[in-house]
Homo-oligomer: A and B are copies of this chain.
Amino acid sequence: MHTVGIIGGGQLGRMLIQAGIDFNLSVKVLDPDPNAPCKDLCSQFVQGSLTDYDTVYNFGKGLDIVTIEIENVNTDALAKLEEEGVRVFPQPSIIKLIQDKRSQKLFYQQSGIPTADFILTETKEEVIDHLDFLPAVHKLGKAGYDGRGVQKIESQGDVYKAFDAPGVLEKMIDFEKEISVIVARSLSGDVSVFPVVELVFDPVYNLVDYLIAPADITDEQAEEAQRIAVSVIKELKMVGLLAVEMFLTREGTILVNEVAPRPHNSGHQTIKANYTSQYEQHLRAILKLPFGATTQTVPSAMVNLLGEIGYEGPAKYDGIDKVLSMEGAHIHLYGKENTKPYRKMGHITLLDPDRKKLIEKVRYVKENLKVIS
């Protein structure tokens, strides 16, 4: 039996543990929240900071394998563990590269990965120097997450929103669709790729509204998106799972937006709809097992269950009966005791051979299921 340490004990760690049951894993989890979603599902739970060197180092020391479920972790401690013989996947140097959106963009540029044009900026004032580059998106180099650390700078009037810290000013892309491809790579260099998913964003909160898989794009576009995702993980030489978020522009070009070196929100539906889930695939990668087939058996959609505005406290799921009475509706709750506005409390996966019906089911979920308190 392998002992696997997971840095981060949120929903991604929880679903990773759920998949890990099938592999007889003994799991140790680190999270700052004493009631983290993984708390009751692991052999050992350590409460502590993910960004503190000593905490992360002491957590990982003596484990066979360490992995992450969030990229905002202390990579120096992980590098030290790697040096001492712990198998850390994804590799700490790659997590570090991805943590900083500036180094991520430079990596794409240097590796010939198509991505939106960009300018590195150190201060808010530097943004003002590039008015001719607008409309653009200003991203904070570090610590941006789920829409935080991202500002649209459409014209001069928006420049006040720019970050007065190292960032990257990216040409705004007039995209047709946002898509995501999850890839995985083994230590021996084998690569596995999942079907393309389409992300539909909530324009106000910049959170995924729902996703649908497979994406409604041409076969050529799908192949191109998969080819790009594979080239990203190959160029990184990363071991583990990588989610590659991309734009399909109105001209039909595909550009990499950003990547996440871990199981991803855009892969939740693989639990129900694909031969192998993203979680199982990540485990196969880090346990040195052959990859599973990524074949999708039925079209699917995924809706995040976000805490309703106006409610804060112990969570209740209103409308769960209505939603679960739909054919092909499955709930995944994250074990979070308290809800608050826009907190990710769970997700619903919908299965239906008919894409139109899938979207109707998405609407039904959004109208009928509310996370309140």
In contact, A324 and B275 (Cβ under 8 angstroms): no
Residue-wise, chain A 300-325 has the 8 Å CB interface mask toward B (1 for contact) of 00000000000000000000110011
Quote the shortest CB–CB distance from A289 to chain B (angstroms): 5
Is A249 engaged at the interface, CB distance under 8 Å to the other chain? Answer: no
Quote the shortest CB–CB distance from A285 to chain B (angstroms): 12
Is A298 engaged at the interface, CB distance under 8 Å to the other chain? Answer: yes
A329 contact set on B, CB distance < 8 A: 292
A297 contact set on B, CB distance < 8 A: 297-298, 351
Quote the shortest CB–CB distance from A232 to chain B (angstroms): 24
Is A223 engaged at the interface, CB distance under 8 Å to the other chain? Answer: no
In contact, B289 and A320 (Cβ under 8 angstroms): yes
Is A357 engaged at the interface, CB distance under 8 Å to the other chain? Answer: no
Using a CB-CB cutoff of 8 Å, which residues 112-159 of chain A contact chain B?
none
A41 contact set on B, CB distance < 8 A: 21, 41
Is A368 engaged at the interface, CB distance under 8 Å to the other chain? Answer: no
In contact, B324 and A290 (Cβ under 8 angstroms): yes
Is A24 engaged at the interface, CB distance under 8 Å to the other chain? Answer: yes
Contact of A293 among B24, B328, B333 (CB under 8 A): B328
A84 contact set on B, CB distance < 8 A: none
A208 contact set on B, CB distance < 8 A: none
Is A40 engaged at the interface, CB distance under 8 Å to the other chain? Answer: yes
Name the CB-closest residue of B to A22: B332
